[in-house]
Structure 1
Amino acid sequence: MKKIKQAIAAGVISLAVIFSGGAVLADHGGDKEIAVVNKGDTLYSLAKKHHMSVAQITDLNHLRGTTIYPGQRLILSGKEAGYHKIIAGSFSKKENAEKRAALLKKKEIAAAISTAVIDGKAYYRVQAGAFKDKKNAVKQLEAVKKAGIKDAFILSKEALHIFGLKPGDSYDEIASRMGKPKKTETQLNIKTLYYQGDGAGLRITLNKKDGTIDSLAVYPEYLSPRMFPALPFTRDEVVKIYGDANKTRTVTCYESAKCEELTYQLDHLELKARIDRDQATVQFLELTDLTDR
C-alpha cells in the first residue's frame, strides 16, 4: 500500500491485472507478474489465458523458440519506465556538450551533462529534465525544440531491478518471484540463497531497521537460464534489458584476468554488471540503494 501511495503521489498510474487460477504470482517488486509453467502448458495456452500474444511472452523472456518447461518462471507483463528523460544532444567531446547546456540555460531551461557508453565509446549527453509522467516530458521536449534544439528526443528508462526485485522490497518477495531456495544461510544481516548445486544464486543484504532489501547480488552461473529466461546471462542480454551503461571500466576479476564492469544509475539505485573475461558471460549483477536508509 505504501508503494501504491508513493506512485500516485508521483503522478504515476499503473494498471495491474490479477488473473485467477493457475500459477500466477502477483509481483510487488517490479510492476510485473510471474507465471510458473505447469506440465501441459504451451506458450499459446499461456498467451490465450493471460490475454497476450506469443510474441509478447517470447520477447519479455528472451525465448529463442516456443518450447517451455515445467517449473519455468515467465514474466507476463510489460516494462515499466522509471523516467522519461529529455536528451538535448549527445557529443563525443565534453566541451561541445557544455556549449549545448549553456545555450539551454540562456533560454532558462535547466540542463545537466551525463555520460553514456555506446559500443565501448563514451558520449556526453545533455539532459534537460527527467519526468515520471510522460505528458510532462512531452511538454518539456516542445520547450527544448522551441529553444532551437530540433534533434532533442525523449529517452525512456526502465526502473532498475533484477527480475523485478529491487532494494526496498520485502525479503518474502524473493520467494514470490524466484521461488523457494533449496538452502539458505544467514550471517548477521546477509542471507545467501542456493537454488541449484553448491553455488549461491543470490546474496541479499537486509536493512537492519526494517528488514527490507538493502542490496542484492545475483550470480547467473548458479541459476538455470531454462528456469529464469528473463534474467540476463550474457552481456548482450544486459544491454537489451537495461540499455547503454552510464559507464564501463576494465577491472581485475580473478587470476589477474581482465573483466568488464557495466554501471547503471537511475534515481537512488545503482546496478553493476560484471562481465567475464570471455566478454560475453555475466559473472554477477549487483543492485544497491545509494541512499542511507
Structure 2
Amino acid sequence: MRKFKQVFTAGIISLAVIFSGGAVQADHSGDREVAVVEKGDTLYALAKKYHTSIARISELNHLEGTTIYPGQRLILSEDEEAYHKIMAGSFSKKENAANRVNFLLKKDIPAAMSTVVFNGKTHYRVQAGAFKNQKNAEKQLKAVKKAGIKDAYILAEEPLHLFGLALGDAYDDIESRLGEPKMTETSLNIKSLYYQSDGAGVKVTMNMKDGTIGSLAVYPEYLSERMFPAMPFTKSQVIKEYGQANKSEAITCYESAICEELTYQLDNHELKVRIDRDGSTVQFMELTNLIYR
C-alpha cells in the first residue's frame, strides 16, 4: 500500500485559475473526502478550506500542474481505516515460510503464507492475523514475540478499494463518489454504469441479501481522466496507489498479444489489474471477494 509522507509547503504559490466565482461541493460519503470542482475553484482555496496542502491534493489525484476543471472529482483526504497485520517473517524460499507457519500453528497462533514480488523476485511472507483494532494487534504481536519470533512487527494496510469504494459499501456510495452516470443498465443483480456514451465505465455486482457492493469492476478507457484524476489509468499510477503486487503474470490478450495481470490480496479480498500490451495502460480493475467466487 502507498506510504504517505507529510508534506509541508510555504511561500506564495502561483495557481492557474480556469474560471472565476463559485465554490466547491464536498462529498463526505465513505472514508475519503471527495470534492466536486465548481466554477472558480482553485487548489489553493481547496487546500485552505480543508486544512491540507496543494502538494497533498496533487499527490492523491496524480495532478502534474495546478489547473483544475469544473466537474472534476478530487480526493481531498485518505483516512480509510487500516488493517493491522502481524508480520512474522519474510523468506525467499517457500519451504522456510511454510515451516514458520507450522511453527506458529503449533503454538496455537493463527498463521498463513502470502507472496509478494519485489524487483521480479518472489518472497513468501508469514502473517499471524489482521486486526482493525490496533490494541488487539499489539496483543497478538506480543504473543508472536513470546513464541520466539522476535523480529515480528505490525504492518498497517488499507482495505483494497477502487476510488475509495470497498466491498460491502452501499450502492449509493458509487454515485456519491463518481457522480450520477449518464445511463444505467441492470441485469439481475449486475449494474453497468455509463459515464460516457461509448461504454460502461463501472460494473457492480450487488449482494442479494443487503444490496451492498459484492464485486466492483472499473474500465478506465470509458472514464474521463480529466474528471477522475485520482483513478489509476497507468501501471505506474497503480503501483503508486497500491504498492507492489502480490503476484504479476503475463497473460494472452487480443488473441495473440501479451498483457500483464497484477494481483493484490488482503484477507479474502482480491484486486486484479489488467495492463495493456503497451506495458502501461490499464485495461480494467476488478475487486472481488474470494469467498464468494
Is the TM value for this pair above 0.5?
yes
Aligned to 2:55: 55
User: Does the 8 Å CA contact 1:34/1:177 hold for their aligned counterparts?
Assistant: yes
State the secondary structure of the residue aligned to 1:285: strand
* Superposition TM-score, scaled by structure 2 size: 0.83
Q: Which runs of 5+ in 1 are unaligned?
A: 1-20
User: Does the 8 Å CA contact 1:141/1:153 hold for their aligned counterparts?
Assistant: yes
Aligned to 1:234: 234
Q: Quote the sequence identity (%).
A: 68
Q: 1:120 to 1:36 in 2, by over 3 A?
A: same
Structure 1 Cα separation of the partners of residues 246 and 81 of structure 2: 17
Alignment partner of 2:25 out of 23, 26, 39: 23
Q: 1:206 to 1:136 in 2, by over 3 A?
A: closer
Structure 1 Cα separation of the partners of residues 281 and 204 of structure 2: 22
| 2:218 pairs with 1:218 | yes
Q: Deviations over 1:87-107 (max 9, x none)?
A: 122111111223333454566
Structure 2 Cα separation of the partners of residues 188 and 105 of structure 1: 43
Number of corresponding residues? 271
One-letter code aligned to 2:132: K
Of stretches 54-63 and 38-47 in structure 1, the one that deviates more from structure 2 is: 54-63
Structure 2 Cα separation of the partners of residues 205 and 110 of structure 1: 32
Q: 1:129 to 1:256 in 2, by over 3 A?
A: same
Structure 2 Cα separation of the partners of residues 144 and 210 of structure 1: 37
Structure 2 Cα separation of the partners of residues 209 and 104 of structure 1: 37
Aligned to 1:121: 121
Give the CA deviation at 1:141: 3.2
Structure 1 Cα separation of the partners of residues 38 and 266 of structure 2: 36
Give the CA deviation at 1:142: 4.2
* Superposition TM-score, scaled by structure 1 size: 0.83
User: Does the 8 Å CA contact 2:24/2:46 hold for their aligned counterparts?
Assistant: no
User: Does the 8 Å CA contact 2:113/2:126 hold for their aligned counterparts?
Assistant: yes
Structure 2 Cα separation of the partners of residues 27 and 256 of structure 1: 43
Q: Which runs of 5+ in 2 are unaligned?
A: 1-22
User: Does the 8 Å CA contact 1:85/1:129 hold for their aligned counterparts?
Assistant: yes
State the secondary structure of the residue aligned to 1:236: helix
User: Does the 8 Å CA contact 2:24/2:41 hold for their aligned counterparts?
Assistant: no
Structure 2 Cα separation of the partners of residues 228 and 268 of structure 1: 28
Q: Deviations over 1:26-59 (max 9, x none)?
A: 213xx11210111211111101111112222222
Aligned to 2:14: none
User: Does the 8 Å CA contact 2:33/2:78 hold for their aligned counterparts?
Assistant: no
Aligned to 1:190: 190
After superposition, residues 77-226 of structure 1 pair within 5 angstroms as 77-105=77-105, 109-226=109-226
User: Does the 8 Å CA contact 1:269/1:287 hold for their aligned counterparts?
Assistant: yes
CA RMSD, 1 decimal: 2.3
Structure 2 Cα separation of the partners of residues 264 and 22 of structure 1: 34
Aligned to 2:5: none
Give the CA deviation at 1:243: 2.4
Give the CA deviation at 1:181: 1.3
User: Does the 8 Å CA contact 1:83/1:132 hold for their aligned counterparts?
Assistant: yes
